[in-house]
Structure 1
Amino acid sequence: MAAQCATDSDDNPLWQYALTVYAKPGIAQHLLLGQDQLGLDVLWCLTALWLAEQKQRLTPALMQQVAYDEWRSNMIIPLRELRYRCDKTRDAALRKALLAAELAAEKRGIALLYAGLEGNNDIVSATGCDFTKLLIENLSMLTGDQRWVADMVEFYGNK
């Protein structure tokens, strides 16, 4: 994820949070490991972390985000697959352009997630809940791999 102009239409608190967290040591690498090895959605992982910061639980009902799911399926994943198919040396310029397009698609994806969460009646407050426990619960909604979750919480705790 790259820094973006704060004045464009897809800018929102979740996007700003995602940029900050993604830049922290170990976070990006661990998120990408989860993406590549476990099939995790990095944007949902960042959203789960953000919700914990907001003292809110990630629930199955909250994860019903049709607009985001369609955008991810039709834009983010195809762009990523095209980028992965590029040779890092021979197709460097094309790979760079595809990465920029993928990042722009992810930014739009974050905007769709944020719009789907804003004012959503399915948001469950977790005020008073232990923060680390809430992080674990939110991330566990995305994967059953408790080793990955524990490592993510550790990286995140070192923010």
Structure 2
Amino acid sequence: MAAQCATDSDDNPLWQYALAVYGKPGVAQHLLVGQDQLGLDVLWCLTALWLAEQKQVLTPALMQQVAYDQWRSSMIIPLRALRYRCDKTHDAALRKALLAAELAAEKRGIALLYAGLAGKGVMGPVDDCNLDELVHGNLSVLTDRGQWINALAQLCWQSND
């Protein structure tokens, strides 16, 4: 069945952006370091980058996404924890299935974020913005690790030069 509107679909511009950026050399590894060592939410990091490219400012108020928070805590995090507990050698098939389920849960999480942001009316650009400043500002809402932010920005845009 076709989606009623763009925010009803798990396949939305934010998801397409997330796939493209995550697939750039070094980005996935850097985001996973942020997740595992700094406790960052990869989906929010990707959303912060996407918002910057959309000339949008990420604010703490925009991060109030109850549906996403509930989904993340009830689905994404438990699936990830189960996958991490699997032995890479002895439980390879189960680990692969859990990874696929985790990815599906993350895709749904992105859809919830996209719908939540659209519902807060943030889909119009701000005037006189600088992409570098927006990227750093948006990611600074998530972490105060400037070196990590700078490295991520460089990885994301090095191939665009």
Shift of 1:121: 3.6
Give the drift of 1:127: 2.5
Aligned to 2:47: 47
Does the aligned pair in 2 maintain the 1:83–1:99 contact within 8 Å?
Answer: yes
Partner of 2:4: none
Does 1:103 pair with 2:117? no
Structure 1 position 35 matched with structure 2 position 6: no
Poorly superposed stretches of 4+, deviation over 2 Å: 121-127
- Residue 66 of structure 2 is matched in structure 1 by 66
Contact residue 62 and residue 117 of structure 1 kept, 8 A: yes
Specify the code of the residue in structure 2 equivalent to 1:135: V
Say whether residues 1:149 and 2:149 are aligned partners.
yes
Q: Given the two structures, how large is their TM-score scaled by the length of structure 1?
A: 0.91
- Once residues 157 and 122 of structure 2 are traced to their aligned partners in structure 1, the CA distance between those partners, rounded to angstroms, is 27
SS of the residue aligned with 1:57? coil
Identity, % of aligned positions:
72
- C-alpha contact 1:57 1:124 (8 A) present in aligned 2: no
Q: Report which of the two has the higher share of helix.
A: 2
Gaps of 5+ in 2: 1-7
CA, structure 1 residues 105+30, in 2 after alignment: closer, same or farther (shift >3 Å)?
same
RMSD: 1.6
* Number of residue pairs matched by the alignment: 152
CA contact (8 A) 1:21 1:27 kept: yes
Describe how 1:73-152 pairs up with structure 2 within 5 A. 73-121=73-121, 125-152=125-152
Q: Which runs of 5+ in 1 are unaligned?
A: 1-7
Query: What do the CA deviations read for 1:100-132 (whole angstroms, capped 9, x no partner)?
Result: 000000000000000001141467843311110
Tell me the CA shift for residue 151 of structure 1. Answer: 0.7
User: Would you say the 8 A contact 1:86–1:95 is kept in 2?
Assistant: yes
Match of 1:24 in 2: 24
CA–CA separation in structure 2 for the residues paired with 1:126 and 1:137: 14
What's the secondary structure of 1:102's corresponding residue? helix
Does the CA-based 8 Å contact 1:56-1:127 persist in structure 2?
Answer: no
Please list the CA deviations of residues 121-158 of structure 1 after superposition, one character each: whole Å capped at 9, or x if unmatched: 46784331111011000011100111111111111121
TM-score (norm. length: structure 2): 0.90
Q: CA deviation at 1:83?
A: 0.2
